[in-house]
Amino acid sequence: MTVSISRQIAFEILRRIEAEGAYASDLLHAELGAQVKPADAALATELVMGVLRWRRLLDFLLERQLKKAVGRLDLAVAIALRMGAYQLRFLGKVPARAAVNESVEVVKHERKSSAASLVNAVLRKIASEAKSPPEKCLPLDLDSAERLAILHSHPAWMVKRWLPRFGEAQTIALLEANNRAPRLSCAVHAVGQRVEIIRNLEKHGLRVQPGALLKSAFAVTGGSPVRTPAFRAGQISVQDEASQAIPLLLAVREADRVLDLCAAPGGKTGPLVRAAGKTGTVVAADRHAHRLRAMASQFARLGLTNVQLAEIDATRPLPFCGEFERILVDAPCSGTGTLARHPEIRWRLRPEQLAESSEQQKQMVTNALAHLSRGGRLVYSTCSIEPEENEEVVASVMENSPAVRRVPIAEAVSTLAPHLAANLSAAQLFAADGFFRTSPAAHPTDGFFAALLEKT
């Protein structure tokens, strides 16, 4: 018996994520090219993302049979067990025999034949209790946070942070959202051709749904939009709707001088360039040369020429003589608002990293404000739901920047209102404190935060 192509791809991607610190979305995009059949690509994606999302629960169930930590096993054996357990627990259409046997073949293929009998025995036991609710396996003395962390497969420290802030019901909703596959949303660049673009996507077998936040956006199922002529022609891009909303908050005008300070991968830069027009100036900066090269390729696909790329470390004073009317600081962050899309983050992030990120973010915003013109607007945004990276950054910067104020909430709401989908009020996206927020628990998007600042 040989290992199916879908399981071979999934195993190798999971191995590289663990061994090299790679990201699932990048590897899936690279590996699942046109040469891979759609059915194989779909199963490989399901296995990779499912194992990553449910790793904690899978390890808990496996360790009941192993009597030792999965982390102590050889990496190939651990991955094969997780893949098998995920199929047995979550993929009812996969026959138990196939899930067990192919996992055994995986370890044999990886020259770990000595572990084949272990994998076979453990997964057979997992199969025998696959229909039993995992709650029945939990020790009775677990506290609420630990129980939720295991059942919903998150680090306990995250759950302990969220429970007092959100309450149990909202925390559970967030945990559940993080374990669902996110909507595959697209941004339309050729707005005048929207109807034609959607018709062509449907001709290629994709099912199109209206945007949940933005009237210019849409979501697709049933295939990959990056394989379509519309994507290749630069008419659309794959981008979460909350991410699409961020550059709109800047309200860029024709001929504005605009700085996109942490621009990579470049998805938010395009709307800024189009809004500034041929007479505007847009600088897209990033500290890594390879990411700038990737952006250049992206901009070439999109036909964006009126943009300057700059290699800049935003945590240091910026090398500009002039000022900008609009600045976007979409800061690097923990990414806790994207755990459905990037589930590996939950296993890599450590609580002490939040404070480290916060200090860097404060420096970035402070450096950017030094080059914001009087009356100009700066948007600070993250894909984090943690206060250290959001509200606390803004409070600290404003305390040390007397010439900066928050854009009034009514003005912020009116900025976004024209772009929103029908039946959605901009006020629903701004809390009483005036900050823009989305949450996977409340919206079919990633969790984003944004603050609108202006220099007086």
- pLDDT tens figures, 236-289: 999 999 999 999 999 999 999 999 999 999 999 999 999 999 999 999 999 999
In a domain, 12, yes or no: yes
Percent of the chain with pLDDT over 90: 90
pLDDT at 85: 97
User: Cα dist. 353→23, 333, 347, 349, 393 in Å?
Assistant: 18, 9, 13, 7, 14
217 and 298 together in one domain: no
Statement: residue 450 has pLDDT above 80: yes
Q: Are 191 and 215 in contact (CB under 8 A)?
A: no
Average pLDDT over residues 31-51: 92
What integer pLDDT is reported at residue 417 of this predicted model?
94
Residues 258 and 370 in one domain: yes
Q: Structure pTM?
A: 0.94
pLDDT digit string, tens, across residues 147-161 = 999 999 999 999 999
Predicted local distance difference test score (pLDDT) of residue 346: 97
The answer to whether residue 114 scores a pLDDT higher than 70 is yes
Buried b (16+ CB within 10 A) or exposed e, 54-91: bbbbbbbbbeebbeeebeebeebbbbbbbbbbbbbbbe
pLDDT on residue 224 = 87
Active-site residue set: 383
Q: What is the 3-state secondary structure (H, E, C) of the chain?
A: CCCCHHHHHHHHHHHHHHHHCCCHHHHHHHHCCCCCCHHHHHHHHHHHHHHHHCHHHHHHHHHHHHCCCHHHCCHHHHHHHHHHHHHHHHCCCCCHHHHHHHHHHHHHHCCCHHHHHHHHHHHHHHHHCCCCCHHHHCCCCCCHHHHHHHHCCCCHHHHHHHHHHHCHHHHHHHHHHHCCCCCEEEEECCHHHHHHHHHHHHHCCCEEEECCCECCEEEEECCCHHHCHHHHCCCEEECCHHHHHHHHCCCCCCCCEEEECCCCCCCCHHHHHHHHCCCCEEEEEECCHHHHHHHHHHHHHHCCCCCEEEECCCCCCCCCCCCEEEEEEECCCCCHHHCCCCCCHHHHCCCHHHHHHHHHHHHHHHHHHCCEEEEEEEEEEECCCCHHHCHHHHHHHHHCCCCEEECCHHHHHHHHHHHECCCCCHHHHECCCCCEECCCCCCCCCCCEEEEEEEC
Both 406 and 280 in one domain: the answer is: yes
Residues facing 238 on adjacent strands: 186
- Whether residues 28 and 113 share a domain: the answer is yes
Q: Binning pLDDT at 50, 70 and 90, where does residue 432 land? A: confident
CA distance 327 to 251: 11
For residues 73 and 208, membership in a common domain is answered with no
Residues 72 and 167 in one domain: no
What CATH number is associated with residue 23? Answer: 1.10.940.10
pLDDT bucket at 1, cuts 50 / 70 / 90 = low
CATH label of the domain that carries residue 287? 3.40.50.150
Per-residue model confidence as pLDDT tens digits over 301-343:
999 999 999 999 999 999 999 999 999 999 999 999 999 999 9
The residues with which 372 forms a beta bridge, in sequence order, are 324
Supply the mean pLDDT for the chain: 95
For residue 93, is it within any domain? yes
- Across 211-220, average pLDDT: 94
Q: Is 295 contained in some domain?
A: yes
- pLDDT for 190 equals 84
Tell me, yes or no, whether 233 and 105 share the same domain.
no
In a domain, residue 64? The reply is yes
Print the domain residue range for 19.
Answer: 5-136
Task: Please check whether residues 10 and 107 belong to one and the same domain.
Answer: yes
Tokens of residue 153, six digits? 């497969």
Cβ(453)–Cβ(391) below 8 Å: no
Identify whether residues 390 and 280 lie together within a single domain: yes
How crowded is residue 161: how many other Cβ atoms within 10 Å of its Cβ? Answer: 19
Same domain, 252 and 344: yes
What pLDDT band is residue 409 in, cutting at 50, 70 and 90?
very high
Residue written as token pair 């808990």: 60
pLDDT at 327: 98
Report the pLDDT averaged over residues 362-389: 98
d(CA 44, CA 399): 49
Query: Does residue 2 surpass a pLDDT of 80?
Result: no
Domain boundary among 204, 238, 272: 238
Domain shared by 115 and 39, yes or no: yes
Does any domain span residue 68? yes
Number of domains in the chain: 4
pLDDT tens digits, 159-187: 999 999 999 999 999 999 999 999 999 99
- pLDDT tens, position by position, 84-95: 999 999 998 999
Quick one: 306 and 428 in the same domain? yes
Q: Is residue 184 part of a domain?
A: no
The reported pLDDT for the residue numbered 35 is 87
Q: Which of 25-34, 246-255, 441-450 has the lowest mean pLDDT?
A: 25-34
